[in-house]
Structure 1
Amino acid sequence: MDLHILDHRLRVISISKNGLVNFTHPLIKLIFLRNRTRCKFFSLTETPENYTVVLDEEGFKELQPSEHLKVESSIWLPLNVASNGNASSSSQAVGVTKIAKSVIAPLAQQHVSVFMLSTYQTDFILVKEKDLSVVISTLEEEFNIYKEVGGESVPMHCQDVPNGLQKNGKEALHPVVIPKNQFCVMSLDPDTLPSIATTLIDVLFYSNSPKEDAANQGLDCIKFFSFSLIDGYISLVMDTEAQRQFPADLLFTSSSGELWRMVRIGGQPLGFDECGIVAQISQPLADSDISAYYISTFSFDHALVSPASHRPRRGHSERNRHAPAPEERSSSQLISDVPSELDDPRLSLQLQWPMVARQQEERLTLCLD
C-alpha cells in the first residue's frame, strides 16, 4: 500500500461558543467563497463545548487573534493511505478500522500522537511535523511513502527528514459515552453548495445559543456537526435532526441511507500530547472487522460505528485521488455486547488494552452511570 504525505501544513484551533460572533465573517468566507481565499484544507466541527477548526496556513491567515481563539502550537501534516492494488486482505472493513493495525497501532507504540479526521471521501491521519521522521521510520517497511511536492508525489525515506521527535505523553484510560442521537455521513456537489447556504449557516451558527449547548451536555443527545471542504470535496457529518433541515435531493450518501452511533471518548479534554487514544478504540474494532469513522476535535474524540451489518460506507461518488475505490462496510456487531445496549444513552465504556504489543490481551468493561 501507499502512504501519502499531503501538501498541506495544518493548524488545529478552537473557537469558543461565546466568541463565535467574532469569526462568522472569515468562516463564511472559507466555506462559501473559495475564489476569495487560497485555503485548500478546511474543516469545522461543532461540539457542545466549542468549534474545532482544522485548516491550512492560508486559511489560518483569515482568523484574527482573539481571547476566544485557542491555537494548538504544532504544525500538523495530513497522511492518507491508498491501496496500490497489490495488497490482499480478507477484511471488508474500511475507514480507521482498516488502518488500525498497519498505521495507528505502530505509531502509538512509538509514542506518536495522531489527530484523526474521517470524511465521506477518505480518512486523514494528522501527525505533528516534528514527528515525521519517526512516522516514516515506523511505517516505511509496510508502506511505499510519498510526499506531495508541487503536485507531484516524491518518494520519502527516513534519512530525508531530520529527527525531532519529543516523546509524547503516555496513554491513559478514558471514559466513553454513547449519546442517543444517530448520525449520517454525507457529501454534496460543490456546485450546489450555494443552494444550501442559508440552511448551513443556520445549522452551524444559529441553531443553539451557548447557554442551550451547555445545558444539553449532560442530556441523552449531543450537538455534533462537521463540515469539511478539502481539495474541492465536501463532507458533512450530522445527526438525523439536522439532516431533516436540508433538501434530501442535494445531499448524497450510501444507497442504504446508513445511520451511525457515536462513541465519544474522554471525560476531560484530551489534549494533544497523549498517544494511543485512537488505537484504544480502533484496534478492537479492527479485531472484529468493524468499520468506523473517527473525528478528533480540540477537546474530545468521536468514533462513529454502525450497528447495522454489511452496509456500504461510500457510494460511487468516491473522488479523493489517493483514496481506495468504494468499499463495503461490514458491521456484524459492535464491540462485544454493545449493540444490545446502545439504546441506553447512559452507557459508558472503560477501555483497557495497553498498546505495547499486538499479542497483549484486550479487556472491555461495560458499566452504567
Structure 2
Amino acid sequence: MSASADVYRVLQVDDEGGQGSSGKRISDLSGPLAQGNFSIFYMSIYQTDFVLVKERRLKQAVQLLQQHDFEFDLESVDQYLGGSPPPMYPSEKDKLSLESDTSLLLEDAFERSVLSDELQCVGLNPHYRSDWAMTVLKILSYPELIKSDEISDGISLIANQHILNLFDSDVIFQDEASQTYRVIQVNLAGSNLDRCGIVWSISHPLAAEAHINLLYLSTYKSANVLVSSEDIGKAEQILTDDFEHFKGMLAELALEPTL
C-alpha cells in the first residue's frame, strides 16, 4: 500500500446547478488551480462536489479561487484559515524544472479505456442510517452475503443497476430524469498525487469545448470521467482523435511545488 505524506483538506462545492451543470463547474474550478500549479483530487457525488487540496497549500488555493470570483463561506475561512497565505507560484526556474521531471514520468506510461457498466448517481435517505452501513460494507467486502431485500442510506452511490436494486426505492434520492453514465477511465503512470492540471486537461475538452456534461472521480492512480450513456461515443471519439495531443498535455503537466 502506498500512502501520501500530505494531509488533504476538502472544499465543498455549493452550486444550484446540480448535476446538470457539473461539467462546466468542474472545468471552471480546475482551470485556475491548474494554472496556479495546484494538484487536486475532484469528487462528484449526488448532492455536491468536493475538491481535495493539500493542507499545506489550502490557504493559497482559497486565495486563488477568490481572485477568480469564487465565493467562500467567510465563517469557514476565518475559522480554518486565518492569516495571510504564502506566495502562490513557484519561480519560473522551478516550474521549468518540475515540468521536465514530470514528462519523464508520464511518457508512454498511461492508457485510456471505456468501462462496460452503465452507472447511476443517487443519494440515500438519512432516515435509514441504521441499515446502510452494513449493506455498503457487504457490497465492498463481502458481496456473497448480500441479500436482495436489504436497504441502505446516508451517502451517495454511483453504481450499476444490480447494486441499486439492493436498496428499497424509498431510500433512494433520484432525479426524475435520472440518466445512466458510462465511464472513461484514464490510468495514469504511478501516483497522481503531485501532478497539476489533470482534472482540467480531461474535463475542459469535453465540457467547455464539446459541451458534454460529465461527473469526475479522482483516484490514486486513475482519472474516471462519467458521461451520459448517450454521449459515450462522442466523448470517446473526442479523446481518441486527440489522444496523442492529450498525452502531450499530460506529459507537460508540472509537479506541485513542495513549499
TM-score, normalised with respect to structure 1: 0.52
Indicate the residue corresponding to 1:335 in structure 2: 235
Indicate the residue corresponding to 1:51 in structure 2: none
- Distance between the aligned counterparts of 2:182 and 2:223, measured in 1? 14
Find the residue that maps to 2:130 and give its secondary structure: helix
2:156 corresponds to which letter in structure 1?
S
2:218 matched to 1:296? Answer: yes
Native 8 Å contact 1:176 1:265 kept in 2: yes
Which aligned pairs between 1:104-253 and structure 2 lie closer than 5 A? 104-146=30-72, 149=75, 152=76, 154=78, 160-163=84-87, 170=102, 172=106, 174-207=110-143, 234-253=155-174
- Distance between the aligned counterparts of 1:78 and 1:110, measured in 2? 18
- Distance between the aligned counterparts of 2:174 and 2:143, measured in 1? 23
Q: Against the structure 1 CA distance between its residues 352 and 72, is the aligned structure 2 distance closer, same or farther, given a 3 Å change threshold?
A: same
- Distance between the aligned counterparts of 2:140 and 2:216, measured in 1? 20
Find the residue that maps to 1:184 and give its secondary structure: strand
Find the residue that maps to 1:127 and give its secondary structure: strand
Q: 2:21 aligns with which of 73, 77, 94?
A: 94
> May I ask how many residue pairs the two structures share in their alignment?
226
Q: Against the structure 1 CA distance between its residues 126 and 165, is the aligned structure 2 distance closer, same or farther, given a 3 Å change threshold?
A: farther
Find the residue that maps to 2:138 and give its secondary structure: helix
1:255 corresponds to which letter in structure 2?
E
Native 8 Å contact 1:184 1:238 kept in 2: yes
- Distance between the aligned counterparts of 1:265 and 1:296, measured in 2? 10
Shift of 1:299: 2.5
Q: Deviations over 1:28-55 (max 9, x none)?
A: xxxxxxxxxxxxxxxxxxxxxxxxxxxx
Indicate the residue corresponding to 2:10 in structure 1: 78
Shift of 1:109: 2.0
Shift of 1:350: 2.8
Q: Against the structure 1 CA distance between its residues 130 and 197, is the aligned structure 2 distance closer, same or farther, given a 3 Å change threshold?
A: closer
Find the residue that maps to 1:160 and give its secondary structure: coil
2:4 corresponds to which letter in structure 1?
E
Find the residue that maps to 1:337 and give its secondary structure: helix
1:202 corresponds to which letter in structure 2?
K
2:159 matched to 1:259? Answer: no
Q: Structure 1 unaligned runs (5+)?
A: 1-68, 209-228, 309-330, 340-346, 356-369
- Distance between the aligned counterparts of 1:143 and 1:111, measured in 2? 18
Native 8 Å contact 2:120 2:160 kept in 1: yes
1:258 corresponds to which letter in structure 2?
Q
TM-score, normalised with respect to structure 2: 0.71
1:160 corresponds to which letter in structure 2?
S
Bigger fraction of residues in strand: 1
Native 8 Å contact 2:122 2:172 kept in 1: yes
Q: Structure 2 unaligned runs (5+)?
A: 145-152, 251-259
Bigger fraction of residues in helix: 2
Q: Against the structure 1 CA distance between its residues 332 and 301, is the aligned structure 2 distance closer, same or farther, given a 3 Å change threshold?
A: closer
Find the residue that maps to 1:104 and give its secondary structure: helix
Q: Against the structure 1 CA distance between its residues 80 and 334, is the aligned structure 2 distance closer, same or farther, given a 3 Å change threshold?
A: farther
Shift of 1:96: 4.3
Indicate the residue corresponding to 2:245 in structure 1: 352
Native 8 Å contact 1:137 1:157 kept in 2: no
